[in-house]
Structure 1
Amino acid sequence: MPRPATAEAEIAEELAVVRPALLPAYTEALPGARAAVLTRLWRGLTHDPLPWVTGREDTRSGVVLRLADGRRLEGPAPDPYATGDRVTAVRLDGTEYDDPARLTADLAVPHSGSFAAELAHSAASLALSRAGQRGFDGLLPGSGDGVPVRDWEWEQRVVDGHPFHPNCRSRPGFSVAEQLAYGPEHRPVVKLGPLPVPAGECLVSGAWPEWLRDGERVLVPVHPWQAAHVLKGAEARPGTGAGALAAHPLMTLRTLALPDGPHVKTALSARLTSSVRDISLGSVAASAVLSDFGQAVAERTDGLLRITRTLGAVAAGSPDLTAQLRESPEEYTGLGERVVPVAALAATDLPRSPAWLARLARLALTACLRLLELGVALEAHGQNLLVVLSPDGEPVRLVYRDLADLRVSPERLARHGIPVPDVPDRMVTDDPVALRRKLFGSLVAGALAGTAGSGAALRAALEDAVRGLPRTPDLAALLDGPLPAKALTLMRLSPGTAGDQWTDLPNPLRFGSG
């Protein structure tokens, strides 16, 4: 089997053809990209419940993991809330590894070969993303003074992808030319081809607009990658001429912002970080109901949080040919305000003092715990959760987008006189553990931790933020127990296991306290 690091050479070869001027910056970025992926991998190896790790020993110099076959894996003391390129090497039975793909391949545990290939691609693609920023003077189109103006411009600042997932930039199935053409960090304009489908063959939810109709046909916006790789037959290929929609890709890659209109969520049947994500037919059918429900429950946060409306959704017989139109978060800003995805905060030069981070954490916990008490657990990770900043940079309210992965509790909703919406069964649970995992794993272990950048900074922000909050059972679980987080490394090494798998991280409120 080829060594997984060949992904670096393959991208270099393609880059030499399609964008040779980037090749020196790409080569220079490779060591840092490997360290960034290794940092994320080491977090998973030391904190996920991996069945072949049989023991752990904390030493003065770091951590030793004992493997089932008797080998020892040694590395620095892990901070599960740290971001960046902090882990530059670990040792497996005395041999030093600075390449996460080679380390994973040589671990030789079940499914490590395929995971190693993903890690190699993640590191190489991350180097490509970082190379694309070299020589970039900080100015974005339309910004003038270097401060982004539009919501999509903030999203272009996120270069490294998921702050804790080892597959933070893995884009298998994308050539170098396609990464440059479609990746938001490369700042492209993507043309979505409208594919005409007879209205009688479509499932439509909400109000599909007239400007995306052609008589008795519905025009479905199609991502060009989807058109090239998934849709088959000339009759299934949308046009890219005068009728194409010029749009700016957001962090999710498959959702794009029209310059003066809504966001378009397209079908993009490619594996990015963990799984192939589509827009299921059930999601399309439930989108209008979910949108109305989200708007209604958000009203109970006293203006602390708003939820973007889904304007319309369409499915043309298959998850491979679907689309949703969603309000831009800019609809919820006032004069001089800016709306920024939480995941983009760490990638900007906005002032983020410890006190500022505590105010953000308090705003987020107040709003999201209130919704959780009502019976709605948001998946409030850094892509879905946005913060509205006042003209002087203070967090004033939150905006949440994309309701596809929330959870609702009939028991809690009934307690507050709220009817249970007609949503897919997978969204419905009264299990408090499942509800808290959904919220705390995304908000605290994800969005807030990624913004804080370390366990110590997260601890300080939370200590300040939780003062005075109502001591509900949900808050008590956050204060007193471990913090749930998705076991991202375990999930990639368990391809036959459906659904999310979880781990417990050290409580950030006690992090570093011994």
Structure 2
Amino acid sequence: MTADEYAAAPLLNCLLREAADPAGDGDGVHRLRGSGRLLRVRAGRRPTGPELRDADGWHPLSHTDLVKLTADELRRYTGATNDELPAEMADSRAAIGALLAARAATTAPADPYVRSEQSLLMGHPHHPAPKARGGAPARSWLPYAPEAHGRFPLAFLALRADQVHEEGGAPAAELFGELADLAGAPPVPPGYVLLPAHPWQLELTSASPELLAAHADGRLLRLGTGTRPGWPTASVRTVYLPGPESDVFAKFSLDVRITNDVRRLWRHDLLALRRTDAAVAAAFAAVRARSGTTAAWTADRGYRTASFAFEELAVMVREGLRAHLVPGATPLLAAALAEGSVPGPLDRAADPVGWWRAYLRQVVPPVLELFARHGVVLEAHLQNTLIAVDGCGTPVQALFRDAEGVKLVPETGRAQGWQRLVYCLVVNHLSEIAGALADRHPGIAGELWPAAREEFRRYDAAHGLPEVRELLSAPTLPGKTNLLLRWTRADGAAARYVPLANPLRAPDAP
């Protein structure tokens, strides 16, 4: 695929979902709601070849043309203007071009897990600018880009002990120590505490008055870089540090807008981290003890930061995978399976329907169980879910992550929490995996959603969850409107939805 094709597919998905309707004038023809103009695409999960109709016929659109058309349509459709989003869409396209060029000169990592984390050239399939990097020149961010197979040592600071703010207790302290060992951290002077940092974040905040003052008066010292590199994962700001026997993740603030949000570790999220993560960890422990599931939660154990730069220098430590994996299993990022950017178990599945049933059995029950019995809403979307496969490529375990995205029913409300669960699990996740399977094995397309329906029914029959029955009879599901959210400059957490046809709906539903 070309950079234009990679960039156009998710933008078209957004435009067709949020601001167009099927025109009934041939396959792939849509009427844009703002102007009434006709747009034609080669239909599919990743639409391509956009063409606009005028008095002289159909005319192909480059990505630049598509951005201009989208901006014009949204101005007409919403009555709002936005100069930032078109620039982000152009930046995303330029970033993909830079990534393609960089990948041509690099070698993919040998580790299948790391390769899956670094494989997403397209990214979020329903976002208008999934690869935007804040408009910065490619040379400033390419060394830290997972999609370019980036690998780099962490930077290390020494923070005066009386300026440290941290939470997490002994588990976090142990992980910070493990992180220091795996990254080859330099020694820390007496009276100071080690503070890992993302080198790109240090570049972005180099002119911060607070940090300049802290360096000047000795509250903060530069120690240099570690001796062993880490691998940036799909989220860009999280770095994976594997060792011969253990592994750990470090998640940093990054003052760059990636998809909907500037990716800082925000104070309010950090202050809620321990309570949220503890609730999820306890729920997973109870589910594993009761049901025998192998599903696991990679806990966000704690964070450390400077009191004078709480968000700018925050770093969170997350448990590694090895302590949780079933023996002999290989973890893979679910988003990589959906995008199809690396060869994987979907391609070699001898029984693709059996593979899908195994996938559903690993992913669906734990998400439903945490909601039903513990009031925990996992953000079980493609980028927060790892699926571990055995030597034959069969799913044998699901691993979930990211306490930042977790919602607790007592706070968010049951109905709102369920809507979020359905969007993340079914629309964002299962629909994409089912689509990827059907792309590779077209003959099984009609069997996939009946199998998924059966898995949801099985859980309801065993445990009784009224929302499941409502889900299987609902005519529509909630589809998040990332294009309109960004166009109207809404907060990234203020999700808005449009109704999508429900593939889980039973044929005999009223």
TM-score by length of 1: 0.79
Q: Is the 8 A contact 1:459 1:509 kept in 2?
A: no
Question: How far, CA to CA, are the matches of 2:263 and 2:275 in structure 1?
Answer: 21
Q: Give the length in aligned residue pairs.
A: 448
CA deviation map 1:329-353 (0-9, x unaligned)? 2321133211111112232322314
Alpha carbons of structure 1 residues 200 and 342: separation in structure 2 relative to 1, 3 Å? same
Report whether the alignment pairs 1:76 with 2:69: no
Residue of structure 1 in register with 2:451 after alignment? 464
The answer to whether the 8 Å contact 2:134/2:258 transfers is: yes
1:174 to 119, 131, 136: 136
Task: Quickly say closer, same or farther: Cα 1:473–1:228, change in 2 above 3 A.
Answer: same
Local SS of the residue matching 2:322: helix
Q: Distance in 2 between matches of 1:214 and 1:376?
A: 42
Matched ranges for 1:45-64 at <5 A: 45-48=15-18, 50=19, 57-64=23-30
Which residue in 2 is equivalent to 1:98?
62
Q: How does 1:110-121 map to 2 (within 5 A)?
A: 110-121=80-91
In 2, distance between residues paired with 1:512 and 1:187?
45
Aligned amino acid, residue 10 of structure 2: R
Query: Residue type of the partner of 2:67?
Result: A
**Structure-2 separation of matches of 1:195 and 1:67:** 53
Structural mapping, 1:150-299, within 5 Å: 151-207=113-169, 208-209=173-174, 211=177, 215-231=190-206, 232=208, 233-234=211-212, 235-236=214-215, 239=222, 241=224, 243=226, 246-260=229-243, 261-299=247-285
Closer, same or farther: CA 308–226 of 1 in aligned 2, 3 Å: same
Correspondence list, 1:492-503, <5 A: 492-496=486-490, 499-503=494-498
Write the distance in 2 (CA, Å) between the matches of 1:465 and 1:442: 15
Instruction: Give distance in 1, aligned partners of 2:496 and 2:42.
Output: 24
User: What is the alpha-carbon distance in structure 1 between the residues aligned to residue 135 and residue 83 of structure 2?
Assistant: 18
- Judge conservation of contact 1:310–1:325 (CA < 8 Å) in 2: yes
Cα pair distance change 1:33/1:436, threshold 3 Å:
farther
1:439 aligns with 2:421: yes
Question: Is the 8 Å Cα contact of residues 190 and 247 (structure 1) preserved in structure 2?
Answer: yes
Matched-pair contact (CA < 8 Å) for 1:337–1:389: yes
Q: Is the 8 A contact 2:267 2:311 kept in 1?
A: yes
Deviation at 1:162, TM superposition (A): 1.7
Q: Which moved more, 1:476-485 or 1:212-221?
A: 212-221
How far is the alpha carbon of 1:366 from its aligned partner? 1.6
Q: Does 1:450 align with 2:432?
A: yes
RMSD of Structure 2 on Structure 1 (CA): 2.9
Which moved further from structure 2: 125-134 or 114-123? 125-134
Shift of 1:268: 0.6
**TM-fit CA distance, 1:78:** 5.3
Contact 2:452 2:504 in 1 (8 A): no
Secondary structure at 2:124's aligned position in 1? Answer: coil
Deviations 1:125-157 (A, max 9, x none): 112223333366xx644x3xxxx35x3233122
**Partner SS for 1:484:** strand
The AA in structure 2 aligned to 1:274 is: N
Task: Report deviation, 1:496.
Answer: 4.5
Q: 1:238 to 1:47 in 2, by over 3 A?
A: farther
1:308, CA displacement in angstroms?
A: 0.9
Q: How far off its partner does 1:399 sit?
A: 0.8
Q: Is the 8 A contact 1:101 1:119 kept in 2?
A: yes
1:348 aligns with 2:347: no
Partner AA of 1:220 in structure 2: L
2:294 and 2:326 in contact (8 A); partners too = no
Q: Aligned partner of 2:324: which letter?
A: Y
Of the three residues 308, 327, 331, the one matched with 2:323 is 331
Shift of the alpha carbon at 1:477?
3.4
How many angstroms apart in 1 are the aligned matches of 2:32 and 2:276? 47
SS at match of 1:246: coil
Quick one: structure 1 residues 185 and 497, their matched pair in 2 at CA, closer, same or farther if it must change by over 3 Å? closer
Please tell me the residue identity of whatever aligns with 1:305: A
Asked if 1 retains the 8 angstrom alpha-carbon contact of 2:386 and 2:399, the reply is yes
Of 219-228 and 197-206, more deviation after overlay is shown by 197-206
Which whole-Å CA distance do the structure 1 matches of 2:366 and 2:302 have between them? 26
Q: 1:367 to 1:321 in 2, by over 3 A?
A: same
Check whether the contact 1:337–1:388 (CA below 8 A) recurs between aligned residues: yes
Asked if the contact 2:33–2:73 (Cα under 8 Å) also holds between the matched residues in 1, the reply is no
Gaps of 5+ in 2: 181-187, 440-444
Aligned to 1:160, the other structure's residue is in SS state coil
3-state SS of the aligned residue for 1:76?
Answer: strand
Residue 505 in 1 paired to residue 497 in 2? no
SS in 2 for 1:399: strand
Residue in 2 aligned with 1:393? 393
Equivalent in the alignment of 1:22: none
Q: 1:200 to 1:358 in 2, by over 3 A?
A: same
Q: Residues of 2 paired with 1:351 and 1:153: CA distance? A: 14
User: Match for residue 378 of structure 2?
Assistant: 378
| Secondary structure at 1:470 match in 2 | helix
**How far off its partner does 1:223 sit?**
1.1
Q: Report the CA distance between 1:494 and its aligned residue.
A: 0.8
Deviation at 1:102, TM superposition (A): 3.0
Judge conservation of contact 1:204–1:285 (CA < 8 Å) in 2: no
Residue type of the alignment partner of 1:438: R
Indicate which of 278, 294, 297 corresponds to 1:307: 297
- Residues 341 and 387, structure 1, Cα contact 8 Å, conserved in 2: yes
Asked if structure 1 preserves the Cα contact closer than 8 Å seen for 2:39 and 2:51, the reply is yes
Q: Which has the higher helix share?
A: 2
The corresponding residue for 2:361 is 362
Separation (CA, whole Å) in 2 of partners of 1:497 and 1:387: 30
Q: Report how far residue 120 of structure 1 moved.
A: 1.1
Q: Do the aligned partners of 2:7 and 2:92 also contact (CA within 8 Å) in 1?
A: yes
Q: Give the structure-2-normalised TM-score.
A: 0.80
Decide whether aligned partners of structure 1 residues 172 and 385 sit closer, same or farther in structure 2, where only a CA change above 3 A counts: same
